[in-house]
Structure 1
Amino acid sequence: MTNVLLVAGSRPTRPTVLVDALTKLRDGGATVTLACDFDPSGLEIPADLAETRNIGEDGRSGGLVFRQLVRGAARPVQVWMRASHDPWVRRHARSAEILVALDNNAVHAVWQLAQRNRRADAVFGLTPALKALDDRRARPEPAKRSALPSAPSPAVLAGDAARRASAAARLAGMAATGRRAMTVSPVRSMWRVAAAAPGIPERRRAALALRLQGSMIKAGKPGAAMAMAERVVPKVTDARARAALLGPAVDRDLAAGRVPPTLRDVVKGELARAEALHTGSHPGQAPPVVGRALDLLFHRVLHYDRLSSPLSDDPAGFLAPLHDSAVGRRLAAANGRETPAEAPVGRPPRLLFLTGLNDNFLTPIRERYDAMPDVETRHLDMSPGTPVRSFLNNGRAKLIAHRLMGQSKYGQEAQQLFGPDMEWADTVFVDWCAVPAGLLSLIDPGTTRVVVRLHSFEAFTWWPHLVDFSRVDDMVFVSEHLRDLAVAAVPRLTGPGAPRLHVLTNAMDLRRYPAEKTPDARFTLGLVGIGAIAKDPRWALEVLRELRRADERYNLVLVGKEPSPDASAAAKEYCTAFERDLAELEGLGAVRRLGQRDDIPKVLTEVGVILSTSVRESFHCALVEGAASGAVPVVRDWPFFAGRAHSARTVFPDEWVVGTPAEAAQRILALTATDEAWRAAGQAAADHALATYDWDVVAPTYDPIFKP
Structure 2
Amino acid sequence: MIEVLMVMGTVPGRVAVLTDALAQFRALGVTVRVATTFDPAERVPAATELAELHLLPTAKELGPRFGRMVKRANPARRPWLRAQRDPWVRRHARRADVLVALDAQALHTVWQLAQRHRRADAVYGIAPALRAVEKRSADPARYRRPRLNTVGHAPAVLASATRNQTVDLAKRMFELSTGKRAMKLGPVRWFWQGAVTAPGLPERHRGKIARRVTGTMLKSGHGASAKRVALAAQGRLKSPTTRGALLGPIVDAELSQGRVPEHLMTVVRGQLKLADGFLKKRNPGKAAPHVLRAFNLLFHRIVQFDGTSSPLAADPEKFLAPLHNSEAGRAMATPRGREHPATFPPADRPHRMLFFTGLNDNFLGPILERYEAMPGVEVRRLNLMEESILPVLSNGRTNVTLHMLAGASKRAGEVREAWGPHLEWADTVFVDWCNLGAAMLTMIDPGTTRVVVRLHSFEAFSWWPHVTDWSRVDDVVFVSEHLRDLAQAAVPRLRAPQGPRTHMIFNAMDLHRYVAPKVSADSRFTLGLVGLSSLAKDPRWALDVLRELRRRDDRYRLKLIGDPLNPELSPAIAAYVRELDAELAELEAAGAVIRAGRTDDVPGALTDVGVILSTSLRESFHCALVEGAASGAVPVVRDWPFFAGRPHSARTLFPSDWVVGTPEEAAERILALTASEEVWREAGRAASSHVLSTWDWSVTQKDFDRLLLEPPAGTD
CA contact (8 A) 1:93 1:117 kept: yes
Q: Distance in 2 between matches of 1:514 and 1:572?
A: 37
Q: Residues 253 and 219 of structure 1: is their aligned pair in 2 closer, same or farther, counting only changes over 3 Å?
A: closer
- Deviation track 1:291-336 (CA, whole Å, cap 9, x = no partner) reads 1111111111122111211111111111122112211111211111
1:576 aligns with 2:578: yes
Residue 39 of structure 1 deviates from its aligned partner by: 4.6
Deviates more, 1:596-605 or 1:171-180: 171-180
Of residues 537, 558, 561, the one that matches 1:535 is 537
Residue 665 of structure 1 deviates from its aligned partner by: 1.2
Deviates more, 1:270-279 or 1:318-327: 270-279
Paired residue secondary structure (1:512): helix
Aligned equivalent of 2:406 = 405
Residue 480 of structure 1 deviates from its aligned partner by: 0.3
Paired residue secondary structure (1:352): strand
Q: Distance in 1 between matches of 2:113 and 2:503?
A: 76
5 Å matches for 1:650-661? Answer: 650-661=652-663
- Deviation track 1:26-62 (CA, whole Å, cap 9, x = no partner) reads 442222332223455546689885444333479996x
Q: Distance in 2 between matches of 1:306 and 1:154?
A: 66
CA contact (8 A) 2:255 2:261 kept: yes
Q: Distance in 1 between matches of 2:59 and 2:591?
A: 76
Residue 561 of structure 1 deviates from its aligned partner by: 0.6
1:108 aligns with 2:108: yes
Q: Distance in 2 between matches of 1:47 and 1:319?
A: 63
- Deviation track 1:94-118 (CA, whole Å, cap 9, x = no partner) reads 3211112233321221133223333
Aligned equivalent of 2:484 = 483
CA contact (8 A) 1:66 1:171 kept: no
2:382 counterpart letter in structure 1:
L
1:325 counterpart letter in structure 2:
S
Deviates more, 1:632-641 or 1:171-180: 171-180
Aligned equivalent of 2:635 = 633
Residue 165 of structure 1 deviates from its aligned partner by: 3.8
Aligned equivalent of 1:668 = 670
Q: Residues 144 and 47 of structure 1: is their aligned pair in 2 closer, same or farther, counting only changes over 3 Å?
A: closer
Deviates more, 1:412-421 or 1:134-143: 134-143
Q: Distance in 2 between matches of 1:609 and 1:227?
A: 50
Aligned equivalent of 2:466 = 465
Aligned equivalent of 2:564 = 562
Unpaired segments ≥5 residues, structure 1: none
Aligned equivalent of 2:383 = 381
Q: Distance in 2 between matches of 1:27 and 1:494?
A: 82
Q: Distance in 1 between matches of 2:667 and 2:223?
A: 47
Deviates more, 1:10-19 or 1:74-83: 10-19
Residue 19 of structure 1 deviates from its aligned partner by: 5.6
Q: Residues 256 and 451 of structure 1: is their aligned pair in 2 closer, same or farther, counting only changes over 3 Å?
A: same
5 Å matches for 1:613-628? Answer: 613-628=615-630
Residue 673 of structure 1 deviates from its aligned partner by: 1.1
Q: Residues 215 and 678 of structure 1: is their aligned pair in 2 closer, same or farther, counting only changes over 3 Å?
A: closer
Q: Residues 431 and 213 of structure 1: is their aligned pair in 2 closer, same or farther, counting only changes over 3 Å?
A: same
Deviates more, 1:576-585 or 1:181-190: 181-190
Q: Distance in 2 between matches of 1:58 and 1:199?
A: 36
1:10 aligns with 2:10: yes
1:371 aligns with 2:373: yes
Residue 171 of structure 1 deviates from its aligned partner by: 4.2
Aligned equivalent of 1:525 = 527
Paired residue secondary structure (2:379): strand
CA contact (8 A) 1:119 1:145 kept: no
Aligned equivalent of 2:714 = none
Q: Distance in 2 between matches of 1:662 and 1:335?
A: 53
Aligned equivalent of 2:207 = 206
Q: Distance in 2 between matches of 1:202 and 1:536?
A: 46
1:377 counterpart letter in structure 2:
V
CA contact (8 A) 2:284 2:406 kept: no
Of residues 533, 551, 568, the one that matches 2:553 is 551
1:98 aligns with 2:98: yes
2:691 counterpart letter in structure 1:
A
Paired residue secondary structure (2:213): helix
1:318 counterpart letter in structure 2:
F
Paired residue secondary structure (1:606): coil
1:354 aligns with 2:340: no
Residue 25 of structure 1 deviates from its aligned partner by: 2.8
CA contact (8 A) 1:414 1:439 kept: yes
Q: Residues 582 and 56 of structure 1: is their aligned pair in 2 closer, same or farther, counting only changes over 3 Å?
A: same
Deviates more, 1:177-186 or 1:335-344: 177-186
1:197 aligns with 2:198: yes
Q: Distance in 2 between matches of 1:31 and 1:196?
A: 59
CA contact (8 A) 1:65 1:174 kept: no
1:230 counterpart letter in structure 2:
L
Aligned equivalent of 1:257 = 258
- Deviation track 1:656-693 (CA, whole Å, cap 9, x = no partner) reads 11111111111111111111111111111111111111
Paired residue secondary structure (1:100): strand
Paired residue secondary structure (1:551): coil
Q: Distance in 1 between matches of 2:305 and 2:259?
A: 12
Aligned equivalent of 2:300 = 299
Residue 219 of structure 1 deviates from its aligned partner by: 4.2
2:91 counterpart letter in structure 1:
R
Residue 589 of structure 1 deviates from its aligned partner by: 1.5
1:110 counterpart letter in structure 2:
V
5 Å matches for 1:47-62? Answer: 50-56=51-57
Q: Residues 545 and 163 of structure 1: is their aligned pair in 2 closer, same or farther, counting only changes over 3 Å?
A: closer
Q: Distance in 2 between matches of 1:218 and 1:623?
A: 47
Q: Distance in 1 between matches of 2:549 and 2:182?
A: 62
Q: Distance in 2 between matches of 1:254 and 1:47?
A: 57
Residue 157 of structure 1 deviates from its aligned partner by: 3.9
- Deviation track 1:181-235 (CA, whole Å, cap 9, x = no partner) reads 4344433322221111111121221122122223333444443322211210100
Q: Residues 46 and 235 of structure 1: is their aligned pair in 2 closer, same or farther, counting only changes over 3 Å?
A: closer
Aligned equivalent of 1:425 = 426
Q: Distance in 1 between matches of 2:282 and 2:75?
A: 19
5 Å matches for 1:219-230? Answer: 219-230=220-231
Aligned equivalent of 2:612 = 610
Q: Residues 672 and 184 of structure 1: is their aligned pair in 2 closer, same or farther, counting only changes over 3 Å?
A: closer
Identity of paired residues, percent? 55
Q: Residues 495 and 180 of structure 1: is their aligned pair in 2 closer, same or farther, counting only changes over 3 Å?
A: same
Paired residue secondary structure (2:230): helix
5 Å matches for 1:44-443? Answer: 50-56=51-57, 64-126=64-126, 128-140=128-140, 147=147, 149-280=150-281, 283-346=284-347, 347-383=349-385, 385-443=386-444
Q: Distance in 2 between matches of 1:153 and 1:437?
A: 69
Q: Distance in 1 between matches of 2:481 and 2:662?
A: 23
2:574 counterpart letter in structure 1:
K
- Deviation track 1:70-92 (CA, whole Å, cap 9, x = no partner) reads 32222121112232333432332
Deviates more, 1:14-23 or 1:73-82: 14-23
Deviates more, 1:203-212 or 1:152-161: 152-161
CA contact (8 A) 1:107 1:124 kept: yes
Q: Distance in 2 between matches of 1:399 and 1:57?
A: 40
Residue 142 of structure 1 deviates from its aligned partner by: 5.3
Q: Residues 546 and 161 of structure 1: is their aligned pair in 2 closer, same or farther, counting only changes over 3 Å?
A: closer
1:36 counterpart letter in structure 2:
T
Paired residue secondary structure (2:4): strand
- Deviation track 1:444-491 (CA, whole Å, cap 9, x = no partner) reads 111111111111111111111111111111110000000001111111
1:599 counterpart letter in structure 2:
D
Paired residue secondary structure (2:229): helix
2:313 counterpart letter in structure 1:
S
Paired residue secondary structure (2:513): coil
Deviates more, 1:139-148 or 1:278-287: 139-148
TM-score (norm 1): 0.94
Q: Distance in 1 between matches of 2:435 and 2:48?
A: 65
1:35 aligns with 2:35: yes
CA contact (8 A) 1:65 1:175 kept: no
Deviates more, 1:692-701 or 1:201-210: 201-210
Paired residue secondary structure (1:358): coil
CA contact (8 A) 1:60 1:86 kept: no
CA contact (8 A) 2:59 2:66 kept: no
